Structure 1
Amino acid sequence: MSRIDPEPTLQDEAARAGWLYYVGGLTQDQIAAELGVSRQRAQRLVSRAMAEGLIHVRLEHKIGACLQLEAELARRYGLGQCRVAPGLGAGADPARAIAGPAAALLEHYLARAEPQVIALGTGRALRAMVEELTAQDCERHHVVSLIGNIAPDGSASFYDVIMRIADKLHAPHYPMPVPVISDTPAERALFHSLRPVQAVVALVQRADVIFVGVGQMGDDAPLLLDKFVTTGQLRDMQGVGAAGEIAGWVFDATGRYIDCDANDRVGGVRIDAGREAPVIGVAAGATKVRAIRAALTGRLINGLVTDEPTARALLA
């Protein structure tokens, strides 16, 4: 009795078309013939495979201009690690440009034979980085969150990356089981008095490498858009010089953490300036330039993955 193949879904077709194009090296005419569709449909299927993240492409060749920008950024800001990706053009999401280089840098640490403690912040750029990771078994390593994973309404934070990366790496993982920002300083202190939270904090403190996003503090601040602070609270922080935030901790243009109500209630671990272990910022985009420059100036981060337009702005 012969087995009847299931009817292919649209995603099945897109994945097959993407595979034939990027891995098989077939032309769109050849893909159309292979799949029995028109050339126009073959083209749409290949585009869909990329748009839905079914195919991941990394640029292995180092563009000379990007190499020069890496060297200049490293020299100016004393960076131990720096990666600059080509820009994707006006209107494109910068997180897409830097996801591959950031994933490759993280895989550099994952390839180490000795066990690593890898701490992670959160945000769109880190989520894109994790999506680009190659799935592998990394049971010898530990991944830990340095930011709370509970949103204001009690749900899991949407851009939390610990569960996603643990699924990719099959590694022991440690979420920070506290709100991103507690309602009161007393509530935060209560959470941090709990033994499981103290254990996670201790693990972060001895991390071998830390990857963080860098948030801007303009009217499009992630803290505001994700409803961790109100418009009034954002205005108050802007009034005392807020320039950026890392893991919810807000700092000024010199990279110093500001004295504000929100910083008294942040649930995660603060990255202290001048940390010796690598602290790699993964961030790009015109709206983030001020925040990234402040983090670099204050030595909150000592490594950077960004794109070409952002790098030029940081050096301007």
Structure 2
Amino acid sequence: MIRNDPEPTLNDDAARAGWLYYVGGLTQDQIATELGVSRQRAQRLVSRAMAEGLIHVRLNHRIGNCLDLETRLTERFDLLRCRVAPSLGAGGDPVHSIAPSAATELERFLRMPEPQVIAFGTGRALRAMAELFNPTEAGHHRIVSLIGNIAPDGSATLYDVIRRVAEKLVAPYYPMPVPVISDTAEERAFYHHLRPVQAVVALVEQADVTFVGVGQMSDDAPLLVDGFVSREEMARFQRKGAAGEIASWVYDDNGQYIKSDRDAMVGALRIEPGRVQPVIGVAGGHGKTRAIRAALLGKILNGLVTDERTAAEILGMD
């Protein structure tokens, strides 16, 4: 496969400056510092981005370095889909960078004339994607969740994705009406024997595409912060070499799921490695690099939407 030339063009620089200004919210002085140019040149680059039509809220120009990273990730991990968004500079939240590209990827499936079953996990990046995609006529598609929507205290989970997607599409959607984590294996088994839950499970298993968030397993892990594992459970997972989690299922650096007593209580369906249909991870940031790479190595994911810094870090781990 021939790679695109990673050397930046004038439009590359203009697109990056426009991205930092309109999406990242940086000042022209900050953009000048980030790009290593004068303030006057930063101002001209931002103006060029608008004059050339490179910026329409979303980036309308594929920066050469991002294209090169997409190619390298695709070849390294044998991916079906890969999009790398420009990073927002030091201190920028990678979610703001990734979400527009993830929204574009979702729209690609929504435009398909054939009915699609589109499954979703949860997380900040997916929620941001759900806010940004453009609604379309998509009543022929079905939207389904692969993860439970009930928190330990009985409330709905914070980062509900499918409800927001379905609201914008006016499309039928199917939540997973079970706790994220049940108190006992018997309780989880009871829920999964209910006919409505079995219907949702069947839809997830036949999904044409699945979008998931990726969680790290460090001390700031979403599972720990949101109360889905105790500190003692987290410590046990860490001792076993936990690298990340997808839909509450924990795996190691090789992308192999780690067995634990907790497995019998997890409400979400586990994504088995090697799926033929696209399973696209939407995630980025230094703290998630290890988790993303492990999921790619283990073939839990065969697609990825991330930012260029994360992409470079993943490739650099080789």
Per the alignment, residue 9 of structure 1 pairs with: none
Structure showing greater Rg: 1
Offset at 1:137?
2.9
Give a deviation string over 1:82-106, Cα, whole Å, max 9, x none: 0000001121111110000000011
Identify the range of structure 1 (244-253 vs 262-271) with the bigger mean alpha-carbon deviation.
Answer: 262-271
Offset at 1:57?
1.4
Offset at 1:261?
2.4
CA contact (8 A) 2:111 2:136 kept: no
Unaligned segments of structure 1, at least 5 residues: 1-21, 23-55
Per the alignment, residue 283 of structure 2 pairs with: 283
Secondary structure, counterpart of 1:280 in structure 2: strand
Per the alignment, residue 294 of structure 2 pairs with: 294
RMSD: 1.0
Per the alignment, residue 171 of structure 2 pairs with: 171
- Percent sequence identity over matched residues? 63
Secondary structure, counterpart of 2:58 in structure 1: coil
Per the alignment, residue 52 of structure 1 pairs with: none
Per the alignment, residue 256 of structure 2 pairs with: 256
Per the alignment, residue 29 of structure 1 pairs with: none
CA contact (8 A) 1:250 1:263 kept: no
Per the alignment, residue 93 of structure 2 pairs with: 93
Give the partner amino acid of 2:74.
A
Secondary structure, counterpart of 1:92 in structure 2: coil
Identify the range of structure 1 (263-272 vs 279-288) with the bigger mean alpha-carbon deviation.
Answer: 263-272
Offset at 1:263?
2.3
Q: Does 1:244 align with 2:232?
A: no
Offset at 1:185?
1.4
Give the partner amino acid of 1:131.
E
| CA distance in 2 between partners of 1:185 and 1:243 (Å) | 25
Per the alignment, residue 303 of structure 2 pairs with: 303
Give the partner amino acid of 2:134.
T
| CA distance in 2 between partners of 1:220 and 1:157 (Å) | 18
| CA distance in 1 between partners of 2:265 and 2:258 (Å) | 13
Offset at 1:135?
2.2
| CA distance in 1 between partners of 2:78 and 2:256 (Å) | 18
| CA distance in 2 between partners of 1:189 and 1:95 (Å) | 35
Offset at 1:239?
1.1
Please identify runs of 4+ aligned residues in structure 1 that moved more than 6 A.
none
Offset at 1:248?
0.7
| CA distance in 1 between partners of 2:297 and 2:277 (Å) | 17
- 1:210-229 to structure 2, matched below 5 A, reads 210-229=210-229
Give a deviation string over 1:30-60, Cα, whole Å, max 9, x none: xxxxxxxxxxxxxxxxxxxxxxxxxx81001
Give a deviation string over 1:141-191, Cα, whole Å, max 9, x none: 000000000001000000121111111111110000000111111111111
Q: Return the TM-score normalized by structure 1.
A: 0.82
Q: Does 1:234 align with 2:234?
A: yes
CA contact (8 A) 2:110 2:136 kept: no
| CA distance in 1 between partners of 2:184 and 2:287 (Å) | 30
Give the partner amino acid of 1:159.
Y
CA contact (8 A) 2:148 2:175 kept: yes
Give a deviation string over 1:97-156, Cα, whole Å, max 9, x none: 000000001100000000000000000010011111112331100000000000010000
Per the alignment, residue 181 of structure 1 pairs with: 181
Q: Return the TM-score normalized by structure 2.
A: 0.81
| CA distance in 2 between partners of 1:214 and 1:93 (Å) | 16
Offset at 1:240?
1.0
CA contact (8 A) 1:78 1:302 kept: yes
